[in-house]
Amino acid sequence: MSQVQNKISPYLSITQDVIGKDIDLKKIEYVQKTISEKIQNKKLENFEKDFKEIIINREKFFKFFNYIEMYKVSRMNEFDKIINYLHFRFKFSQASNKKKEFDFPPYILIEAVSACNLKCPMCFQIDKTFTRKPFMGLMKWDLFTKVVDEANQLGAGAITFGSRGEPLMHPKIGEMLKYVSEKENIFELKLNSNASFLTEKLCHEIFKHKVDTLVISADHYEKKTFEELRKGANFEKIVSNVKMLFNIRKNYYKDSGTEIRVSGVDYYKNLNRKKFQEFWSSMSDNVSATYAVERWDTYNNEKDERTLNPCSYLWDRMYIWFDGKCNPCDADYKSYLSYGDVKNNTIKDVWNGEKLKNHRSIHMAKKRSELIPCDRCGIDFN
Ligand code: SF4
């Protein structure tokens, strides 16, 4: 069990006490045994050899899948869905770690809104050449449903609402969560927010529509520094919103699997991590802080000649901006690397286009210094 608890997934870092419930290991054992029998009886012929090997071998199975994956499985009832979910996680890992090319992105990040109500010093929202046309806008409902329908059909298993702006500023964000939650092939739903616009109604929608993870950006435990860093926010209001969220889950959704995570940026590199942890952990499940990535001004960063490793984002995810433009990441917030548009094309066509293939080849040849801003974003995958 401890082996399982200590493992984290690539983009959902979580530990046992995060959700506060035990994994039903007996169920996991049963699932592994049953799928394994199906494979041996040649009932699951369509899956890759490597995936089948992981499922059949108990030791490999428990080594490969991490806590959050086990937790998800322990809460699922339909057997076909469990297999599809595990297969999705396998594919994400192959894309991310082995740079395996799939003909659709395993993970999609949707930008409901590109604007933000705050102007934090470590964020590209203070770049005045960005906070104006053509970069600012809201995703239209038709484009949103097109993206989600295609993602579901393709089997892209995870969707995050986030990217460059504050998603809760979208007037239809509650309906958007509902729409994604009703799709059978989308297994993980994540929402990134600064918590300014949390209302009682929205809190209920988050739990009702089974958001897996809500990441709240908050950088301090003292009003003065918090408001300096989250410029435009009111500390008391944010704290009261996060408490409301936590209490609504406690009072109305006792069996909720939604993780509330507080994630901060230690901008001045002097944050008292212990106090930060103590403060926010009373109203969340998981608290973390990292140093700032100086990415708001990515394009004017100094060139980083030492970072040569290929960037996993070219294989494992697609960012879709509010207007349908597709990008590998939001470090490139002005879309120098954009490889297409899903307004008039399908996700699959854009993902399999020449431009992205070319970016991958450049990265594989350890020549990312030929691409702006890959040559200076500082994001490294060992
Ligand atoms: S800019 Fe950085 S994060 Fe974005 S694709 Fe290039 S290397 Fe990856």
Q: Ligand 1 pocket: which of 330, 337, 379, 380 to mutate (most atoms <8 Å of CB)?
A: 379
**Tokens matching residue 317:** 């995810």
328 CA distance to ligand 1 middle (Å)? 7
Per-residue pLDDT at 304 exceeds 70: yes
| Residues lining ligand 1, Cβ inside 6 A | 311, 313-314, 328-329, 331-332, 337, 368, 373-374, 377, 379
What is the rounded average pLDDT of the residues 33-46? 81
Pocket probe for ligand 1: among 329, 333, 369, 370, the residue whose CB has the most ligand atoms within 8 Å is 329
| Per-residue pLDDT tens digits for 270-298 | 999 999 999 999 999 888 888 876 556 78
201-230 mean pLDDT: 96
**Which pLDDT tens digit goes with each residue over 162-180?**
999 999 999 999 999 999 9
DSSP letters, 244-288, are: HHHHHHHHH-TT---EEEEEEEETTS---HHHHHHHHHTT-SEEE
DSSP state of 113: B
Q: Rounded to an integer, what is the distance from CA 146 to the centroid of its chain?
A: 20
Please give the Cα distance from 145 to 258 (Å, whole number): 23
**What spacing in Å lies between the alpha carbon of 314 and ligand 1's midpoint?**
8
Q: How far apart are CA 165 and CA 143, in angstroms?
A: 17
Size (the chain), residues: 382
In the structure encoding, which two tokens stand for residue 361, read together?
């080849």
pLDDT at residue 318 tops 70: yes
pLDDT value of residue 54? 94
Query: If you average pLDDT over residues 72-87, what whole number do you get?
Result: 86
For ligand 1, atom 4, name the residue with the nearest CA: 329
Closest CA to 160 of 92, 78, 90, 240: 92
Residue 19 pLDDT > 50, yes or no?
no
pLDDT tens for each residue of 351-370: 999 999 999 999 999 999 99
**Nearest atom within ligand 1 for CA of residue 314:** 5
| Per-residue pLDDT at 17 exceeds 50 | no
| pLDDT more than 70, % of the chain | 93
Q: Whole-number mean pLDDT of the chain?
A: 90
Task: Summarize the confidence of residues 239-252 as an average pLDDT.
Answer: 97
For residues 225 and 219, give the distance between their C-alpha atoms in angstroms, rounded to a whole number.
Answer: 8
Pocket-testing residue among 321, 337, 377, ligand 1, by greatest number of atoms within 8 A of Cβ: 377
Give 170's Cβ-side CA count (13 Å radius). 27
Exposure pattern of 158-177 as b/e (b: 16+ CB <10 Å)?
bbbbbbbbbbbbbeebbebb
- Which one has a higher pLDDT value, 45 or 85? 85
Question: Could you give the 3-state DSSP secondary structure of residue 371?
Answer: coil
At 27, phi and psi to the nearest 5? -65, -40
Q: 16 C-alpha vs ligand 1 centroid, how far in Å? A: 31
How far is ligand 1, taken at its centre, from the CA of residue 80, in Å?
35
**Ligand 1 pocket test target in 299, 326, 374, 376 with most atoms within 8 Å of CB:** 374
Ligand 1 atom at minimum distance from 332 CA: 1
Counting beta carbons within 10 angstroms of the beta carbon of residue 305, is it exposed (0 to 12), middle (13 to 18) or buried (19 or more)? exposed
Residue with tokens 């230690």: 266
State residue 6's pLDDT score: 36
Rounded-to-integer distance, Cα 98 and Cα 90, Å: 11
- The amino acid that residue 268 corresponds to is Y
Residue 15, pLDDT above cutoff 50: no
Atom 8 in ligand 1: which residue has the minimum CA distance?
Answer: 311
Please state, in angstroms and rounded to a whole number, the distance separating the CA atoms of residues 279 and 293: 24
Q: Classify residue 3 by burial, with Cβ atoms within 10 Å: 0-12, 13-18, 19+.
A: exposed
Residue whose CA is at the smallest distance from ligand 1 atom 6: 374
21 pLDDT tier (thresholds 50, 70, 90): low
The pLDDT value given to residue 191: 97
Ligand 1 atom index nearest CA of 311:
8
**Rounded mean pLDDT, 119-140:** 94
Position 10 scores a pLDDT of: 32
Say how many CA atoms lie within 13 Å of 316 toward its Cβ. Answer: 20
What is the structure's pLDDT at 251? 96
113: which strand partners? 138
How do residues 320-354 score in pLDDT, each as one tens digit? Answer: 999 999 999 999 999 999 999 999 999 999 999 99
From 26-35, 111-120, 213-222, the region with the lowest mean pLDDT: 26-35
> Looking at this protein, which amino acid is placed at residue 333?
Y
- H or E segment to which residue 181 belongs: helix 173-181
pLDDT band at 155 (very low <50, low <70, confident <90, very high): very high
Query: How far is the C-alpha of 123 from the C-alpha of 295, rounded, in Å?
Result: 7
Q: Which pTM does this prediction carry?
A: 0.91
* pLDDT for residue 11: 32
Q: How far is the CA of 334 from the centre of ligand 1 (A)?
A: 12
Judged against a pLDDT cut of 90, whether residue 69 lies above it is answered with: no
Concatenated DSSP letters of 336-354? TT--EETTTS-HHHHHTSH
